[in-house]
């Protein structure tokens, strides 16, 4: 008995330290994007697009812990997910093959600093468009709409957002989702990563996890026997693409490129290969904001 307990503690520690890499989809390139070999020629001199296309290198910030959106299991070469597919489409337009993209892990806190300092050229990291963020960085899109939902253990009794009053609800520390849940009367619990939060739900220490429905669907798909997503979305998040504010020409380029993918059906293909795997129906592509 003692030994099992000790083993459990060790396992728990290993799990935490190992950052939980238990899921990986191995589909190579779900979307067949054509890489323009002479991409640089189509851009005007002096634009950031031209610079990137000529250098043949692009650094893109994505999340590594959101299955279905941006996820990289320990040992994988490259991340997978819908955000990642969108990033590949944009890179292809710049004449850069998926294999040549330099992926950089971003977390919610460092997306703006990374764009401001030039650590990354673009951010595709479930990056909600907000007016305040647009004061600091450029955000094009939205290329995806999602809303906050609840992930619970099956049979938890929580059916909708009305049921979380007084319950323990977790998400990533400082996220907007957590503030929304607090406003609904939940006792909010912040953790460093989504997977830690999910583990607490699995262990029964927390009643529900909340964040964008798309992220939750990814987690539910990893544990379909134990977890389920419940309730209607109770917020609307407009997921956009981040770029440096001092390169405003990128906005039109990003918007046009993604619009093309939406029109050609590549957007839908990317969805089906990633988020669609959890059984979610492919939605209509959202209308994007015009660039100022």
Partner 1 sequence: MQVLIDNFDRLLEAFLTTFRLFLVAGGLSLVFGTILAGMRVGPIDVLSKAAAFYVTVFRNTPLLVLLLLVVFGFPKLDINLGYFWMNILALTMYTSTFVCEALRSGVNSIPLGQAEAARSVGLGFTQTMQNVVLPQAFRAVVPPLASVLIALTKNTSLCSVFGMAEATALMKGLLNDNTSQLWWIFGGIALGYIVIVELISTVAGLLERHWRIA
| Residues contributing to the site for partner 1 (CB under 8 A) | 5, 8-9, 11-13, 15-17, 108-109, 112, 130, 132-133, 135-137, 168, 170, 173-176, 178-179, 182, 188-192, 196, 199-200, 203-206
237 vs 266 by CB, closer to partner 1: 237
* Contact in structure between 208 and 167 (CB atoms under 8 Å): yes
Q: What DSSP line would sit under 4-65, residue for residue?
A: HHHHHHHHHHHHHHTT--------S-SS-PPPPTTGGGGSPTT-HHHHHHHHT--EEEE-SE
* Contact in structure between 154 and 90 (CB atoms under 8 Å): no
C-alpha dihedral sign at 151, 156, 161, 164: negative
Minimum Å gap between C-beta 187 and partner 1 is 8
Strand order, beta sheet including 102-105: 102-105, 59-62, 122-128, 237-243, 138-146
* Contact in structure between 239 and 133 (CB atoms under 8 Å): no
50 vs 167 by CB, closer to partner 1: 167
Taking the C-alpha atoms of 192, 194, 200 and 202 in order, what is their torsion angle to the nearest 10 degrees? Answer: -160
Can the peptide bond before residue 142 be classed as cis, meaning omega within 30 degrees of 0? yes
* Contact in structure between 49 and 256 (CB atoms under 8 Å): no
Minimum Å gap between C-beta 159 and partner 1 is 24
74 vs 78 by CB, closer to partner 1: 74
113 vs 283 by CB, closer to partner 1: 113
8 vs 287 by CB, closer to partner 1: 8
Minimum Å gap between C-beta 15 and partner 1 is 8
Task: Indicate the SS3 state at residue 189.
Answer: strand
Minimum Å gap between C-beta 103 and partner 1 is 23
Minimum Å gap between C-beta 247 and partner 1 is 18
16 vs 23 by CB, closer to partner 1: 16
Minimum Å gap between C-beta 66 and partner 1 is 16
Minimum Å gap between C-beta 209 and partner 1 is 12
Residues 6+ apart with CB under 8 A from 30: 85, 269, 270, 272, 273, 274
146 vs 257 by CB, closer to partner 1: 146
């Amino acid at each position: 008995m003692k030994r099992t307990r000790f083993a459990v503690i060790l396992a728990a520690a290993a799990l935490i330290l190992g950052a939980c890499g238990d899921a990986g989809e191995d589909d190579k390139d779900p979307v067949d994007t054509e890489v323009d070999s002479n991409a640089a020629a189509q851009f005007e001199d002096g634009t950031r697009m031209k610079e990137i296309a000529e250098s043949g290198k692009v650094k893109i910030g994505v999340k590594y812990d959101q299955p279905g959106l941006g996820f990289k299991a320990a040992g994988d070469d490259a991340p997978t997910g819908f955000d990642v597919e969108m990033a590949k489409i944009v890179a292809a337009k710049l004449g850069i093959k998926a294999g040549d993209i330099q992926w950089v892990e971003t977390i919610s806190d460092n997306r703006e600093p990374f764009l401001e300092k030039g650590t990354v050229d673009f951010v595709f990291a479930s990056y909600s468009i907000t007016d305040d963020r647009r004061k600091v960085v450029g955000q094009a899109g939205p290329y995806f709409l999602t809303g906050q939902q609840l992930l619970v253990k099956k049979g938890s009794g929580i059916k909708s957002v009305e049921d979380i009053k007084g319950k323990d609800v977790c998400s990533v520390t400082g996220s907007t989702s957590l503030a929304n849940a607090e406003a609904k009367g939940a006792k909010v619990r912040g953790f460093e990563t989504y997977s830690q939060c999910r583990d607490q739900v699995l262990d029964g220490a927390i009643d529900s996890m909340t964040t964008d429905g798309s992220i939750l669907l990814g987690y539910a798909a990893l544990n379909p026997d134990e977890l389920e997503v419940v309730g209607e979305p109770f917020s609307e998040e407009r997921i956009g693409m981040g770029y440096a504010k001092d390169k405003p020409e990128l906005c039109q380029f990003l918007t046009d490129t993604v619009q093309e993918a939406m029109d050609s059906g590549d957007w839908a293909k990317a969805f089906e290969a990633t988020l669609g795997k959890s059984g979610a129906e492919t939605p209509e592509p959202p209308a994007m904001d015009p660039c100022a």
